[in-house]
Amino acid sequence: MAKKGQTTPPAVIGPAHDPDSLYHQMQPFLQWMLEKNYSPRTVDNRELYLRYFIQWCDERGLTRPQEITRPILERYQRHLFLHRKKDGQPLSTRSQGTRIVPIRAWFKWLTKNNRILYNPASDLELPRQEHRLPRHILTSQEADQVLNVPDAQTPMGVRDRAMLETFYSTGMRRMELIGLHQFDIDYERGTVMVRQGKGKKDRMIPIGERALAWIQKYRDAVRPQMALAQDDGTLFLTNQGDAFTPNRLTQMVRDTINAAGIHKKGSCHLFRHTMATLMLENGADIRFIQAMLGHAELSTTQIYTQVSIVKLKEIHTLTHPARLQRLQTAHTDAQMSEDTPTPQGEPEDPAAALLAALDAEGDEEAED
């Protein structure tokens, strides 16, 4: 599929005029995904990984889906295992699996639509995933160091501080912050509506008073100077008056972390890791963190029951370290446990599973 803003069509891989080639059989699959309401970003990612596979096949004289067998797919898996990135590092098991999933989905679709007689990928196993904890987390003191870097006496400084405070307070994803609109912030209730998050799901989450104060300052004093005549309502704008691109936002956050003298890897996702970890350390229940992050389920846990925004806001206020004023009362872990029933069948260490899922998200974001 042609990417947004492309002026020339993407290069054809393999026989250009063979309608039954791997490349030409990929196109209707991608179109089907769009028709089934997969997000354009998901479709683009799957096309990228399928192109890697088709290129690998073409280099070995394999040009049609009918020529792909289970042993060939296993050879490709071994190729991914042995592959080295530009920095000499191997692909993580998560990245290897990410490249195999689109192939399995594609061959399932080809079989279902009678384009091939059998599915060679039907029993293809994904690499066993590592359960890693996040590698880099900011302490609350380090987070404050980063947040204090932007010069609040300048318009750009106010904007950057508001964006960093939003990341830190909510733990939202990079694309979710980019997509925020002015009307998504409810200043009275202290909540923010994340629209069309991962999986095209909306969710309402709490946001702290300190972050709201900076957003209000940016909204009232800075944003009117940046907005163009045809303002679409995007909350955070560049100095050209348009929405941030993912790379530009990542670079802004990375530059700020460096300027704070913090030598930890990561950018936008570092704040997502940090928010979840610090709230867990301060006693927040795993289910409330899950609701904040927008995780429908974790690979090692059941789907948790939904929690109300009122309770979620209360837990956020009690456990998130970024506040305008320190609370005078403290809730113990026992009190929080009484308020929140334990789900049946929960694993021994769901917090570790959630943090491992966060680390996997960071790997995906780094590849974008």
Domains of the chain: which residue ranges? 22-112, 143-343+351-356
Annotated catalytic residue within 24, 269, 273, 320? 269
Instruction: Give residue 4's pLDDT.
Output: 46
Instruction: Give residue 276's pLDDT.
Output: 86
Q: Verify whether residue 159 is a known catalytic residue.
A: no
If pLDDT is split at 50, 70 and 90, which confidence band does 347 have? very low
Instruction: Give residue 338's pLDDT.
Output: 40
The C-alpha torsion from 16 through 17 and 20 to 23, rounded to 10°, is 20
Q: How far apart are CA 288 and CA 205, in angstroms?
A: 10
Q: Does residue 305 carry a pLDDT above 90?
A: no
| Pair of tokens at residue 150 | 């932007």
Residue ranges in the chain assigned as alpha helix (H): 22-35, 40-58, 70-82, 93-112, 140-147, 155-170, 174-178, 209-221, 223-226, 246-259, 268-281, 286-293, 309-319, 333-339, 350-367
Instruction: Give residue 119's pLDDT.
Output: 95
Annotated catalytic residue within 24, 159, 173, 320? 173
Annotated catalytic residue within 198, 219, 273, 313? 198
At 282-302, the pLDDT tens digits run 888 888 888 888 876 544 333
Q: Does residue 132 carry a pLDDT above 70?
A: no
Annotated catalytic residue within 272, 273, 316, 320? 272
Annotated catalytic residue within 295, 313, 316, 320? 295
Q: In this predicted structure, which of 2-6, 201-205, 279-283, 352-356 has the lowest mean pLDDT?
A: 2-6
Annotated catalytic residue within 23, 49, 218, 304? 304
Q: Does residue 94 carry a pLDDT above 60?
A: yes
Q: Does residue 341 carry a pLDDT above 60?
A: no
- Choice between 294 and 185, residue whose per-residue pLDDT is larger: 185
Instruction: Give residue 38's pLDDT.
Output: 86
Q: Verify whether residue 254 is a known catalytic residue.
A: no
Instruction: Give residue 75's pLDDT.
Output: 95
CATH 2.30.30.140 fits 143-343+351-356, yes or no: no
Percentage of residues in the chain having pLDDT higher than 90: 52
Q: Verify whether residue 200 is a known catalytic residue.
A: no
Average of per-residue pLDDT across 161-188: 94
> Using an 8 Å Cβ cutoff, are 39 and 89 in contact?
no
Q: How far apart are CA 356 and CA 299, in angstroms?
A: 10
| Pair of tokens at residue 233 | 């309502």
Q: Does residue 134 carry a pLDDT above 90?
A: no
> Using an 8 Å Cβ cutoff, are 106 and 29 in contact?
yes
Q: In this predicted structure, which of 22-26, 27-31, 36-40, 253-257 has the lowest mean pLDDT?
A: 36-40
Average of per-residue pLDDT across 269-285: 87
Instruction: Give residue 302's pLDDT.
Output: 32
Q: Please count the other Cβ atoms lying within 10 Å of the Cβ belonging to residue 64.
A: 16
Q: Verify whether residue 198 is a known catalytic residue.
A: yes
Provide the residue type at 302 as one letter: Q
What's the whole-number average pLDDT of the chain? 82
- Choice between 198 and 139, residue whose per-residue pLDDT is larger: 139
By CB neighbour count within 10 A (0-12 exposed, 13-18 middle, 19+ buried), where does 201 fall?
exposed
Q: Verify whether residue 269 is a known catalytic residue.
A: yes
Q: Verify whether residue 75 is a known catalytic residue.
A: no
CATH 1.10.150.130 fits 22-112, yes or no: yes
Provide the residue type at 63 as one letter: T
Q: Look up tokens 């594609």; give the residue.
A: 106
Instruction: Give residue 322's pLDDT.
Output: 79
Average of per-residue pLDDT across 28-32: 96
Instruction: Give residue 35's pLDDT.
Output: 92
